[in-house]
Amino acid sequence: MRRQLKTFFLLIAAALLLSLPVSFLLKKLWHEGNDEPVRVLTQYLRAVYSRDFKQAYRFVSAEDKRLKDEKIYVRERGPFTGFALEAAKKLSELIEFTPAQINLNDGRARIVLAFKAPDMNSIGALLLDWDEERLQALPLDEQKKLLAAIGNLQRNGGLEVIEGQEEFTLRREGHQWRLFFDWASGVKVKFGTLLPPSGLIEAKPMIKETVTQPNELFTIAYRVKNLTDKEVFARITHRVEPAALTEHLDVVECGLLLPVRILPGEEQTYSSTYVVRGDIPDGTKSVDVTYEFKVEP
């Protein structure tokens, strides 16, 4: 879980610079009532930070939603649930946002937003390495103590923070502003399966294809079922086509790179997290990824 959390921070903290000062013009825009796109953006970022992706999806543009529905969006990102979500929301309330630049033009907003956010990794030991099952199993009074401990760290200056800034694009839709990611211009990643002829297992991706922009993390899952009355050990090899794009698709984490034990008749779900690198050749529209399963009885 620790490694997952580190990769999660790529969503907010990758390739960020130090904060810029707010100009007089920005302050003027702010006080003239043009703060609505900033308000929407900060709500979205707090939701992403706390891995409340169902909430974050509310702020995605209608055009992007046509490419990716809520169920797929949430599943690709791996949401928190239960007390882990509650604790992450508590931390998200402590994020400080400062608009560094706002450009409004014909129903579009380009915003450079500086932030100072608690480093979730730095309090991993306190939050049981963000293990959702262990956190959820804690007695209610222990959960309350953890929330209080977060507050104490903040008041005493004991929370480590991450600082940076990033640019976002929003569109006006009626009376609302929504985040525009332009997924339509992204890279389509399609997933297939190559099974051993022995017929020992059944395996299929829960999402057969997705569209992503470079440097955007996404997670897919495979359901694997043991069709025999004996335990088996399964692992996979990734095949990327075109082969030349292999070095441009990074496997951040994969639950099937090492052999996994599957009991007789058991069905398990295994997740893999990917990122299409920013140096992928211009004009690339699609990548095919095949999971070649190898099984040892």
Provide the residue ranges of all domains of the chain, joining segments of one domain with +: 2-184, 186-296
Backbone angles phi, psi at 244, to 5 degrees: -65, -15
The 10 Å Cβ neighbour count of residue 45 is 23
CATH of span 2-184: 3.10.450.100
Q: Which region among 9-23, 76-90, 139-153, 184-198 has the lowest average model confidence (pLDDT)?
A: 9-23
DSSP symbols for 261-294: EE-TT-EEEEEEEEEE-TTSPTT--EEEEEEEEE
Per-residue pLDDT reduced to its tens digit, 51-65: 999 999 999 999 999
Q: What was the pLDDT predicted at 7? A: 43
Measured CA distances, 84 to 143, 150, 155 (Å): 10, 13, 21
In this prediction, residue 34 carries a pLDDT of 64
Q: Which CATH superfamily is 186-296 part of? A: Ctag/Cox11 (2.60.370.10)
Tell me the pTM: 0.80
Compute the mean pLDDT over every residue in the chain, rounded to the nearest whole number: 88
Farthest-apart Cα atoms in the chain, separation: 72
- Judged against a pLDDT cut of 80, whether residue 182 lies above it is answered with yes
Dist. CA 80–CA 239, nearest whole Å:
30
Tokens of 103: 């450009």
Confidence check: pLDDT of 13 > 60? no
By the 8 A CB rule, do 203 and 224 touch? Answer: yes
Taking the C-alpha atoms of residue 110 and residue 279, their distance in angstroms, rounded to an integer, is 23
Higher pLDDT, 232 or 28: 232
